[in-house]
Amino acid sequence: MPKTEVILIQNIVGLGGESDLVKVAAGYARNYLFPQGLAVPLTAANKRRIEALKQRRGEREAHEFNTMTELSKSISMLIAVLQVKTGEDGKMFGAVTAGMIADQLKTQFDIALDKKKIHLEHPIKTLGEHQIELHLHPEVKSTLKVRIESTTPLTIPTEVPATEAERRDGAARESRGHKRRDEQATAAPTEKPARPEKKSRPTAEKAEKSEKPAKSGKAEKDSK
């Protein structure tokens, strides 16, 4: 296939920027680049345009760098929320791709970003938050927080009623607990009230009382 050399007057991703001299297929140049105003044939007259094209390229690249730098600051504070379908076990049916994230940025924040700038090592297959690396510019990188949520309602487990055997077992345990507390209360020592002390009369007084009847009887015999 014959080749031809052209001068690019517009930036073409994967091919080159303004003022670059590139070789392309003659049919590609004739049928696409020239009609679209993206390139011109390499001629002596067109070579004089190279300096002007280089200046325009420098201005464009500076503008892109500034724009991407500002976007990097803004996008790092955003959270892109994507909703996906999952099973009852929380597993996703599919995966989240760079194209889906780019679409969500456009829908949620009105940010148009080429999906090729979204760097995913592999599609996202789990719920939760993920930090995604963005290659916004050859000299500008950023991160975007993406939160994957499920649209499937969560199933709340219901409390299973206790069976008759479990109720009887619980009642038996409670009864044993009451019995154990009663036994502990019975076994606790009770304090006996102190007995009042008995007052004893003096020994001399007792002796005096015992002697009096004896004297009376002796005097009675003497009088007879």
Query: pLDDT tens-digit profile of 18-75?
Result: 999 999 999 999 999 999 999 999 998 899 889 999 999 999 999 999 999 999 999 9
Q: What is the mean pLDDT of residues 110-114?
A: 94
Instruction: Average the pLDDT over each of 35-44, 51-60, 96-105, 206-215 and give the range with the smallest value.
Output: 206-215
Q: What is the mean pLDDT of residues 115-127?
A: 92
Q: Tell me, yes or no, whether 80 and 42 share the same domain.
A: no
- The answer to whether residue 217 scores a pLDDT higher than 50 is no
* Domain termination residue (choose one: 150, 183, 212): 150
Q: Tell me, yes or no, whether 36 and 79 share the same domain.
A: no
165 belongs to a structural domain: no
139 belongs to a structural domain: yes
User: Do 82 and 105 form a contact (C-beta atoms < 8 A)?
Assistant: no
Q: What is the mean pLDDT of residues 208-213?
A: 49
Share of the chain above pLDDT 70, in %: 71
pLDDT score at 216: 45
19 belongs to a structural domain: yes
C-alpha 204: how far from its chain's center? 99
| Banded model confidence at residue 90, pLDDT cuts 50, 70, 90 | confident
| Banded model confidence at residue 214, pLDDT cuts 50, 70, 90 | very low
Find the CATH number of the domain harbouring 30: 3.40.5.10
Q: Tell me, yes or no, whether 88 and 23 share the same domain.
A: no
Q: Which two tokens stand for residue 138?
A: 């050859």
- The answer to whether residue 133 scores a pLDDT higher than 60 is yes
Q: What is the mean pLDDT of residues 169-185?
A: 68
Q: What is the mean pLDDT of residues 87-95?
A: 86
pLDDT score at 215: 46
Q: Tell me, yes or no, whether 32 and 87 share the same domain.
A: no
pLDDT score at 179: 66
Which range is most confident: 7-11, 184-188, 219-223? 7-11
175 belongs to a structural domain: no
Residue 104 to residue 73: CA distance in whole angstroms: 19
**Higher local confidence (pLDDT), 153 or 136:** 136
Find the CATH number of the domain harbouring 92: 3.10.430.100
Q: What is the mean pLDDT of residues 78-106?
A: 92
pTM of the full structure: 0.58
Residues β-bridged to residue 80: 146
User: Do 9 and 18 form a contact (C-beta atoms < 8 A)?
Assistant: yes
Q: Tell me, yes or no, whether 79 and 32 share the same domain.
A: no
201 belongs to a structural domain: no
Residue 118 to residue 204: CA distance in whole angstroms: 122
Per the structure, the complete domain to which residue 125 belongs is given by 73-150
178 belongs to a structural domain: no
* Domain termination residue (choose one: 85, 117, 150): 150
Q: Tell me, yes or no, whether 77 and 119 share the same domain.
A: yes
192 belongs to a structural domain: no
Q: Tell me, yes or no, whether 91 and 139 share the same domain.
A: yes
How many domains, the chain?
Answer: 2
pLDDT score at 192: 55
pLDDT score at 160: 55
C-alpha 32: how far from its chain's center? 51
Residue 156 to residue 152: CA distance in whole angstroms: 12
25 belongs to a structural domain: yes
Q: Tell me, yes or no, whether 79 and 132 share the same domain.
A: yes
Per the prediction, the chain carries an average pLDDT of 81
* Domain termination residue (choose one: 150, 175, 201): 150
